[in-house]
Amino acid sequence: MNTDFSFAVSRRGFLAAAAGAAVSASLGPARAFAGDERQIKVAPGQARLASASSPATAVWAYNGTVPGPTLRLRQRQPVRITVENGLDEDTTVHWHGIRLPNAMDGVPGLTQKPIKPGARFVYEFTPPDAGTFWFHPHANSLVQLGRGLAGALIIEEAEPVALDRDLLWLLQDWRLSSDDQIAGGFGSAMDASMSGRVGNLVTINGMAPGDQNVSAGERVRLRLANASLARMMALRFEGHRPVVVAIDGQPCEPHEPEDGRLVLAPAMRIDIVLDMQGDPGSRHAVIDDFYDGLAYTLTTFAYDKAPPLRAHPLDAPVGLPRNPLPTPDLASAMRQEIVVQGGMMGGGKLAGVGGMMGMGMPGMSGGAAWAINGMSMTGDGHVGMAPQFMLKRGASCHLTMRNETAWWHPMHIHGFSMLVLSRNGAPVSHRQWQDTVLLAPKDVIECAFVADNPGDWMLHCHVADHQMAGLMTVFRVT
Amino acid sequence: MKLTYRLAPLAALIATPLPAVAATINAVMYKNPQCSCCESYASYLEHNGFKVEVKPVNNLSQISSDAGVPADLEGCHTLMVDGYVIDGLVPVEIVKKLLTERPAITGITLAGMPTGAPGMGGEKDGTWTIYAFTKDGKAPTVYATE
């Protein structure tokens, strides 16, 4: 199906060699490249998170900003992105949700050598799908993401969509100490084995949100991306009826979410269309009430006083053009199962990795607090990770994910989008393709995808503490 | 803040002319909003003469660290009572011993979530060590074993 991959395979040897040599001048006489070229420098920086006048917080930043620059690329247009590492430690960039060649996936040890301090790596791929994606490190993920390294990656549709405005809210969650600096204690045992490092300041596009100015009658596409380490969100738009048009970058059948509540776990994206039908001058809260007893107003829509742009909402359909995803053949699909185990209150499923009931200190010193099918892969990716299962290239895979724990897990598959078939036995409608599927405690979710992209791919929980503490696995497409 | 906790039981004594039972001891529990064991522990304390105000927080490990609990001895919640920090599922007899003896420490902790501990269920296996900690950088010492 996808011709981009064959193109990329031929490049893989070259790139592997380039990554091995300290790439600086070695890329030297650049081949003629017909596509977008971008540069990203990873380095320490400063950000004012609470307000423009608040004290500066020391962060790690892409091109000096938090979040990093929004990369707007074109569907089916090649791009070459040079990443230069100005940190004192290794990094990589993972292009979250993009179906790309394995060597471009940014997992240290598994798909590339890490980018050493002072070195560069050139990522090159052709995004097959239009939609809302994002990028972040896959090395020392908990700390690097927690210090601010994240950016939006928007792949624009070949034909523009009829809307008044296209907005992005890249949501980040920071754990700050009283001196406005990023609190230490990354990887604490309690965070690792419970809900992860949830913070105390949520920002939209790098700043604690003030009002969002809107106009009566306008139609807005709002791209929501949760770049938090661990904070789940459930957004309600008071006085408005959001229509979900895409999940994880993949267009779905437009629908209103259950109870009008958008559940957005770490790494997930949801695109909604909002017809701004409030009265001129009115105000409407956007509330996040995911955690019991901890609801808060994230931001407020503040309507200007101008008369409505139009008397009635736009007639144009809100649906987005579909992406070229291969349809899995369920009849012939290979069945695989992933069982998520461990954590606090875990019922002793993890005897081999610390015995969660009656454990001492799970998750300490890089120890495991979680497992998939009895195996804990800790960290960010490394050489020699044995695949949990194999798939023949082109085969369909019917994947069941079973959460035996008492905690929530957004399970992220690299390299593919999965069609979500059912949740706890009930069919999932609206044609939802996702690269990050949220499992509530005890959930059983069935998904399917076509293994059309060869390589060793990671499948892990995107609560960064959980991933680091063992909630990760690898599968191979041969 | 600590002053408030110290005064609370005193206020309760004054306000109750004829206490039928021993005065309640007020406590505040900081816990993960998604952990249920802590609520069982709060209920256990309430059956043993405490009044527990439960406060769900998302940054429990930060609160526990700020309260002086050593990172490698964190319990699953943090309780503030009568000027002391009680971290984790410490049996009530030991909490009461602390509040009676009033040693010059910041608090005590039972790390992790041992099976059989109050609020956990299951059978106790092995000895629990409850550590005393201070905020002066000294190593934790054993306060009690159970």
Q: Are residues A351 and A296 in the same domain?
A: no
Query: Chain A within 8 Å of B40 (Cβ-Cβ)?
Result: no
Please report whether residue A214 resides in a domain: yes
Residue A349: pLDDT over 50: no
Check CB contact under 8 Å for A194 and B32: yes
Burial of residue A58 (CB within 10 Å: 0-12, 13-18, 19+) is middle
Q: Which of A131, A156, A181 is the last residue of a domain?
A: A156
Please report whether residue A308 resides in a domain: no
Q: Write out residues 2-21 of B within 8 Å (CB-CB) of A.
A: none
- Interface with chain A: mutation pick from B37, B63, B78, B113, highest number of A CBs within 10 Å: B113
Averaged pLDDT, B75-83: 94
Cα A294–chain centre separation: 24
Q: Are residues A148 and A249 in the same domain?
A: no
Averaged pLDDT, B82-99: 96
| Domains held by chain A: number | 3
Q: Are residues A103 and A169 in the same domain?
A: no
Check CB contact under 8 Å for A344 and B115: no
Q: Are residues A270 and A346 in the same domain?
A: no
Task: Please name the amino acid found at residue B68.
Answer: G
Tell me which residue of B82, B81, B68 sits closest to B134, measured CA to CA. Answer: B68
Listed in order, strand segments (DSSP E) in A53-119 are 57-62, 71-74, 79-85, 94-96
The alpha carbons of chain A give a radius of gyration, in whole angstroms, of: 22
Q: Are residues A133 and A8 in the same domain?
A: yes
Query: Chain B within 8 Å of A291 (Cβ-Cβ)?
Result: yes
Q: Which pLDDT score, from 0 to 100, does residue B108 have?
A: 97
Q: Which pLDDT score, from 0 to 100, does residue A30 have?
A: 53
Please report whether residue A319 resides in a domain: no
Listed in order, strand segments (DSSP E) in chain B are 25-31, 50-56, 77-81, 84-87, 107-109, 129-133, 141-145
Please report whether residue A373 resides in a domain: yes
Structure tokens at B43: 């209920």
Q: What is the domain partition of chain B in residue ranges?
A: 2-145
Residues of chain A with Cβ-Cβ distance to B62 below 8 Å are 175, 177, 183, 185, 200
Query: Chain B within 8 Å of A344 (Cβ-Cβ)?
Result: yes
Q: Which pLDDT score, from 0 to 100, does residue A11 have?
A: 40
Q: Which helix (H) or strand (E) holds B13?
A: helix B2-15
Predicted complex ipTM: 0.79
Q: Which helix (H) or strand (E) holds B45?
A: helix B37-46
Q: How far is CA A185 from CA A196, A462, B60, B65, in A?
A: 12, 19, 11, 8
Indicate the range of A18-32, A63-77, A392-406 predicted with least confidence: A18-32
- Interface with chain B: mutation pick from A179, A190, A356, A357, highest number of B CBs within 10 Å: A190
Q: Which helix (H) or strand (E) holds A465?
A: helix A464-468
Q: Are residues A9 and A146 in the same domain?
A: yes
Q: For B36, what's the count of Cα atoms within 13 Å in the CB-facing half-sphere? A: 8
The CATH number assigned to the domain holding A125 equals 2.60.40.420
Please report whether residue A315 resides in a domain: no
| Secondary structure (3-state) at A112 | strand
pLDDT per residue as tens digits for the range A137-171? 999 999 999 999 999 999 999 888 889 999 999 99
Averaged pLDDT, B9-30: 63
Cβ pairs bridging A and B (under 8 Å): 88
Query: Chain A within 8 Å of B72 (Cβ-Cβ)?
Result: yes
A219 vs A32, higher pLDDT: A219
Q: Which pLDDT score, from 0 to 100, does residue A31 have?
A: 60
Q: What gap in Å lies between CA B21 and CA A300, rounded to an integer? A: 50
Query: Chain A within 8 Å of B125 (Cβ-Cβ)?
Result: yes
Work out the pLDDT band at A190, boundaries 50, 70, 90. confident
pLDDT per residue as tens digits for the range A423-465? 999 999 999 999 999 999 999 999 999 999 999 999 999 999 9
Check CB contact under 8 Å for A408 and B34: yes
Residue B112: pLDDT over 60: yes
Residues with Cβ within 8 Å of B25's Cβ and at least 6 positions away in sequence, in order, are B9, B49, B50, B51, B81, B82, B99
Residue A357: pLDDT over 60: no
Please report whether residue A313 resides in a domain: no
Tell me which residue of B30, B66, B59, B76 sits closest to A199, measured CA to CA. Answer: B59
Residues with Cβ within 8 Å of A105's Cβ and at least 6 positions away in sequence, in order, are A94, A95, A111, A112, A414, A415, A455, A457, A458
> Which contacts qualify for A381-384: CB closer than 8 Å, 24 or more apart?
A381/A107, A381/A108, A381/A109, A381/A110, A381/A111, A381/A138, A381/A139, A381/A458, A382/A108, A382/A109, A382/A110, A383/A109, A383/A110, A384/A109
Please report whether residue A202 resides in a domain: yes
pLDDT per residue as tens digits for the range A89-145? 999 999 999 999 999 999 999 999 999 999 999 999 999 999 999 999 999 999 999
- Which residue is associated with the tokens 């409505």? A308
Q: Which pLDDT score, from 0 to 100, does residue B16 have?
A: 45
Residue A15: pLDDT over 70: no
Q: How far is CA A459 from CA A417, A418, B37, in A?
A: 12, 12, 30
Cβ atoms of A83 and A139 closer than 8 Å: no
Tell me what percent of the residues of chain A surpass a pLDDT of 70: 89
Listed in order, strand segments (DSSP E) in A63-119 are 71-74, 79-85, 94-96
Residue of chain B whose Cα is closest to the Cα of A192:
B61
Q: What gap in Å lies between CA B112 and CA B131, rounded to an integer? A: 12
Say which of A190, A294, A360 has its CB closest to residue B61: A190
Cβ atoms of B108 and B129 closer than 8 Å: no
Check CB contact under 8 Å for A345 and B60: no
pLDDT per residue as tens digits for the range A359-418? 333 444 456 899 999 999 988 888 888 899 999 999 999 999 999 999 999 999 999 999
Task: Give the torsion sign (CA, A444, A96, A292, A258).
Answer: negative
Tell me what percent of the residues of chain A surpass a pLDDT of 90: 79
Say which of B36, B65, B76 has its CB closest to residue A185: B65
Query: Chain A within 8 Å of B111 (Cβ-Cβ)?
Result: yes
Q: What gap in Å lies between CA B120 and CA A96, rounded to an integer? A: 39
Tell me which residue of A197, A194, A361 sits closest to B72, measured CA to CA. Answer: A361
Averaged pLDDT, B96-101: 96
Q: Are residues A211 and A298 in the same domain?
A: yes
First to last CA, chain A: 16
The alpha carbons of chain B give a radius of gyration, in whole angstroms, of: 15
Is this prediction's pTM over 0.90?
A: no
Q: What gap in Å lies between CA A215 and CA A172, rounded to an integer? A: 26
Any idea what DSSP says for residue B36?
A: S
Q: Which pLDDT score, from 0 to 100, does residue A16 have?
A: 39
B8 vs A310, higher pLDDT: A310
**How many residues are recorded in chain A?**
478
Cβ atoms of A369 and A342 closer than 8 Å: yes
Query: Chain B within 8 Å of A112 (Cβ-Cβ)?
Result: no
- Interface with chain A: mutation pick from B61, B120, B125, B131, highest number of A CBs within 10 Å: B61
Q: Which range of residues forms the domain containing residue A294?
A: 165-303
Structure tokens at A368: 């495991």
Residues of chain B with Cβ-Cβ distance to A200 below 8 Å are 58-59, 62
- Concatenated DSSP letters for A23-43? -SGGG-SPPP--SEEEEEEEE
Number of helices (H) and strands (E) in chain B: give both, helices first.
4, 7
Residue A353: pLDDT over 50: no
Cβ atoms of A369 and A472 closer than 8 Å: no
Q: Write out residues 84-103 of B within 8 Å (CB-CB) of A.
A: none
Q: Which pLDDT score, from 0 to 100, does residue A363 have?
A: 42
Residues of chain A with Cβ-Cβ distance to B37 below 8 Å are 344-345
Q: Which of A102, A121, A156 is the last residue of a domain?
A: A156
Q: How far is CA A240 from CA A96, A272, A275, A299, in A?
A: 30, 11, 8, 14
Check CB contact under 8 Å for A190 and B58: no
Q: What gap in Å lies between CA A408 and CA A349, rounded to an integer? A: 16
Say which of B32, B35, B74 has its CB closest to residue A189: B74
Order the strands of the A71-74 sheet from edge to edge. Answer: A71-74, A151-156, A131-136, A94-96
Residue A289: pLDDT over 50: yes
Residue A13: pLDDT over 80: no
Tell me which residue of A343, A347, A348, A358 sits closest to B127, measured CA to CA. Answer: A358
- Which residue is associated with the tokens 């724990």? A405
- Which residue is associated with the tokens 């052709």? A126
Residues of chain A with Cβ-Cβ distance to B71 below 8 Å are 185, 188-189
What does pLDDT average to over chain A?
90
- Interface with chain A: mutation pick from B30, B53, B59, B60, highest number of A CBs within 10 Å: B59
Averaged pLDDT, A64-72: 98
Averaged pLDDT, B46-51: 95
pLDDT per residue as tens digits for the range A212-264? 999 999 999 999 999 999 999 999 999 999 999 999 999 999 999 999 999 99
Q: What gap in Å lies between CA A132 and CA A154, rounded to an integer? A: 5
Please report whether residue A339 resides in a domain: yes
